Chains A and B, each alone.
Chain A
Amino acid sequence: MDRMGPSEFRAGGSMSRTAAPIVVRGLEHWFGEGEAKKQVLFDVDLVLQPGKLTVLLGASGSGKTTLLTLMGCLRRVQQGSVTLLGMELAGAAEDVLVQCRRRLGFIFQAHNLHDSLTAMQNVRMGLEVHGPAATAQWESAAAHLLDLLGLRERLNYLPGNLSGGQKQRVAVARALIGNPDIVFADEPTAALDKESALNVVTLLKRLGTERGTTTLMVTHDSKIMDLADQIITMDEGRIVQDSSLS
């Protein structure tokens, strides 16, 4: 893989990537109302280190996705504190949350590409959110990233004409094109073959060392766990093990 120069990515704007990008304190979360109200997170505490790959483990229903969406500004904090890139999310206004999301990259289990947009255009959507920039710059950055992910021949394909793995790699490119401070990935490798999965994780690790990008990934892939800097295990809404504390 080529080296990625900073100029290929969104220019400027990101804060110092040396402070802890995420600090969670005493986080609790409930779903439902009244009789059906059910607590799914209990007193969650965690700190992520900048530029590191953290893997989140836990049985189904243990609250991994809920925690991820709270840290990713996709859900409102009900109780406790989430400090994201120095910003308190508890009680933050909607437009603050929208601003915060622009500094994050999401890789979902499903690719969630827009069917009417080509691979390039889907990736471009990850950049346009930062405001108008020279199209030529976007296109070369997007093309470069897609090339790194082995999609050089597929730039102008619609998602309908791509394989599942190819679509997921386009989604990865869309998450990374904006040079996010933090990448959240929820079982992103399910749709990828072993080689692509490893390829994506290697890319994320390299972004960590070269640019200080922090990654939090939910996965049960033992190959990826081997590459992790930190592993957090959840059970029934609580953090039961955190490798950074032991």
Chain B
Amino acid sequence: MTELLAKLLGRLPIGWLQLVHNKTRLPAAVAGVSFASVLVLMQLGFLGALVGSIRLPYDQMNADILISASDMNTPADGSPLPRQRMFEALSVEGVARATPLYYGKIEWKQSDGTIRNLDVFGIDPSSETIRNPAIEARLADIARADVALIDAKTRNAPDGLFAQIANGQPYRFEVKGRTLTVVGTFEIGGGFTADGYLVISDQTFLRLFPQRAAGAPNHILVSLAPGADVRSTIERLRAVLPAYDSSVRTVAEAFDKDRAFQTTQRPVGLVFGFGIVIGVLVGIIIVYQVLSTDVAEHLKEYATFKAIGYPQRFFLSIVFEEAAILAALGFIPGFVVSLGLYAMIAAATGLPLAMTGARAVFVLIGVLGMCLLSGAIATRKLARANPADLF
């Protein structure tokens, strides 16, 4: 290692030799950097899972443009839209299709009394509202009253239930005083607010949610006519639909807005962001502590090197060498531990928690920057090394 670093640096790796010489400081520093790495990687993982789960329903929408209530933040909230908006949209040039999407939440009571929260899509079974082959294949089935399809990725469902349903054995459960018959499955996955999804027809939906004003959907999914331009169609829709109750966006824009809302204005997103800040602060403080103590303990040696004729940048390079070594040595175990925790938490919660190469590189660079910043602060102590004091 010493030889490798000597080749890399073109000089003796003093920083490395100093670090390994101290049998307690190095492990402590590496543990500190690892801890900070784990903290940041976990928070980013959760944030990524949050964003991933926010994206799930949007990915299901078979549409170019989404018309939603003007007060909508997430697919599940916001006032219903007057059904009339759908017919108004249909009359706009460039619009090929406009279908309603009803969005609700139900509680799925298990035989043991526990409850799973399901997000419910109510769709028109005669049109292609949802982009999911398993659902498209069963549209005829859900056209019948009180027939449903269920998300096979729903968290904490009874063992073997979905296999049973897929094998043609319908499953019945009570909700809101009605009995739903589940005849098939599809896969979407749970998020932070729901354990999974349920798909029913718009008619079944309105029977389950009778308080819903006559046929008022949550969203209207608009598909463009061949060759129609998205931006100009959106402008035309905005001109026709009143801004006080409707907002018109591409599906991607709607997702972006939802993501921005949930990651910056909801406690869950803020907590993760705060966790990242804490991780970075912990890392900076530990690394600064270690590096500044190390500089302070070697002032005499540094003064000697100054007397020999080493310039100031040589001492800076020692501190930065140490910082970079701590970053590398600390990140690697932190990364491995995080991979393990990701797998454990994903298995336990069904959250889409996965390491991405970009995140690993991003955090590595961040950890390196954090260590170098701490090193930069620690180099202020170098000024105290005065070779005239050596005699």
- Residues of A at the B interface (CB closer than 8 Å) are 65, 68-69, 72, 74-75, 95, 98-104, 106, 108-110, 112-117, 121, 124-126, 128-129, 132, 135, 158, 174, 178, 186
Chain B residues contacting A186 (CB-CB under 8 Å) are 391
Q: A114-B301, A116-B18 are in contact. Are A72 and B12 (CB under 8 A)?
A: no
Q: A112-B304, A125-B12 are in contact. Are A69 and B311 (CB under 8 A)?
A: no
Q: Contact at A117–B14, with CB atoms within 8 Å?
A: yes
Q: Contact at A112–B311, with CB atoms within 8 Å?
A: no
Chain A residues contacting B6 (CB-CB under 8 Å) are 135
Report Cα–Cα, A125/B301, bound state, in Å: 11
Tell me the nearest residue of chain A to B390, going by C-beta: A108
Q: A101-B309, A114-B301 are in contact. Are A128 and B11 (CB under 8 A)?
A: yes
Instruction: Please give the distance in Å from B369's CB to the nearest CB on chain A.
Output: 26
Chain B residues contacting A102 (CB-CB under 8 Å) are 308-309
Instruction: Please give the distance in Å from B294's CB to the nearest CB on chain A.
Output: 10
Show 14 residue pairs from A and B whose CB-CB distance is below 8 angstroms, ordered by the A residue: A69-B388, A72-B307, A98-B310, A102-B309, A112-B301, A112-B304, A115-B21, A116-B20, A117-B17, A124-B12, A125-B12, A128-B11, A129-B308, A135-B6
Q: Does B387 contact A (CB under 8 A)?
A: yes
Tell me the nearest residue of chain B to A108, going by C-beta: B390
Q: Does B227 contact A (CB under 8 A)?
A: no
Given pairs A99-B309, A106-B390, 7 additional interface contacts (CB within 8 A): A74-B390, A98-B310, A114-B298, A115-B21, A125-B12, A125-B305, A129-B309
Instruction: Please give the distance in Å from B317's CB to the nearest CB on chain A.
Output: 12
Q: Contact at A128–B12, with CB atoms within 8 Å?
A: yes
Q: Does B116 contact A (CB under 8 A)?
A: no
Q: Interface residue count for B (Cβ, 8 Å)? A: 25
Report Cα–Cα, A75/B391, bound state, in Å: 12
Q: Does B10 contact A (CB under 8 A)?
A: yes
Instruction: Please give the distance in Å from A109's CB to the nearest CB on chain B.
Output: 7
Report Cα–Cα, A129/B313, bound state, in Å: 12
Q: Contact at A108–B391, with CB atoms within 8 Å?
A: yes
Report Cα–Cα, A112/B391, bound state, in Å: 10
Tell me the nearest residue of chain B to A102, going by C-beta: B309
Q: Contact at A65–B14, with CB atoms within 8 Å?
A: no
Q: Contact at B310–A129, with CB atoms within 8 Å?
A: yes
For the complex, would chain B's binding face be called helix, strand, loop or mixed by DSSP majority? Answer: helix
Chain A residues contacting B17 (CB-CB under 8 Å) are 116-117, 121
Q: Contact at B308–A74, with CB atoms within 8 Å?
A: no
Enumerate B357-391 residues with CB–CB distance to A below 8 Å.
Answer: 387-388, 390-391
Report Cα–Cα, A11/B307, bound state, in Å: 21
Q: Contact at A117–B12, with CB atoms within 8 Å?
A: yes
Q: Contact at B12–A95, with CB atoms within 8 Å?
A: no
Query: Would you give the 0/1 interface string for B287-325, flagging 1 where the beta carbon is closer than 8 Å to chain A?
Result: 000000000001011011111111100000000000000
Instruction: Please give the distance in Å from B176's CB to the nearest CB on chain A.
Output: 73
Q: Contact at B308–A126, with CB atoms within 8 Å?
A: yes
Tell me the nearest residue of chain B to A75, going by C-beta: B388
Query: Which of A103, A106, A115 is the one whose CB lies under 8 Å from B307?
Result: A106
Instruction: Please give the distance in Å from A160's CB to the nearest CB on chain B.
Output: 9
Q: Contact at A112–B12, with CB atoms within 8 Å?
A: no
Q: Contact at B311–A98, with CB atoms within 8 Å?
A: yes
Query: Which of B21, B307, B390 is the one whose CB lies under 8 Å from A101?
Result: B307
Instruction: Please give the distance in Å from B300's CB to the nearest CB on chain A.
Output: 6
Q: Contact at B391–A101, with CB atoms within 8 Å?
A: no
Report Cα–Cα, A28/B328, bound state, in Å: 52
Report Cα–Cα, A12/B309, bound state, in Å: 18
Q: Contact at A132–B10, with CB atoms within 8 Å?
A: yes
Q: Contact at A98–B391, with CB atoms within 8 Å?
A: no
Tell me the nearest residue of chain A to B298, going by C-beta: A114
Report Cα–Cα, A158/B18, bound state, in Å: 12
Chain A residues contacting B18 (CB-CB under 8 Å) are 116
Report Cα–Cα, A129/B390, bound state, in Å: 19
Tell me the nearest residue of chain B to A120, going by C-beta: B12
| Residue picked from A125, A132, A174, most chain B C-beta under 10 Å | A125
Query: Would you give the 0/1 interface string for B209-247, flagging 1 where the beta carbon is closer than 8 Å to chain A?
Result: 000000000000000000000000000000000000000
Q: A98-B309, A129-B310, A186-B391 are in contact. Are A121 and B304 (CB under 8 A)?
A: no
Q: Contact at B10–A74, with CB atoms within 8 Å?
A: no
Chain A residues contacting B14 (CB-CB under 8 Å) are 114, 116-117
Report Cα–Cα, A153/B11, bound state, in Å: 24
Instruction: Please give the distance in Å from A107's CB to the nearest CB on chain B.
Output: 10
Report Cα–Cα, A68/B304, bound state, in Å: 15
Chain A residues contacting B12 (CB-CB under 8 Å) are 117, 121, 124-125, 128
Q: Contact at A112–B300, with CB atoms within 8 Å?
A: yes
Enumerate B1-58 residues with CB–CB distance to A below 8 Å.
Answer: 6, 10-12, 14, 17-18, 20-21
Q: Contact at B391–A69, with CB atoms within 8 Å?
A: yes
Instruction: Please give the distance in Å from A98's CB to the nearest CB on chain B.
Output: 5
Report Cα–Cα, A131/B21, bound state, in Å: 25
Report the 8 A-B pairs with minimum CB-CB distance, sorted nearest first.
A102-B309, A116-B21, A101-B309, A112-B304, A116-B17, A74-B388, A114-B301, A65-B391
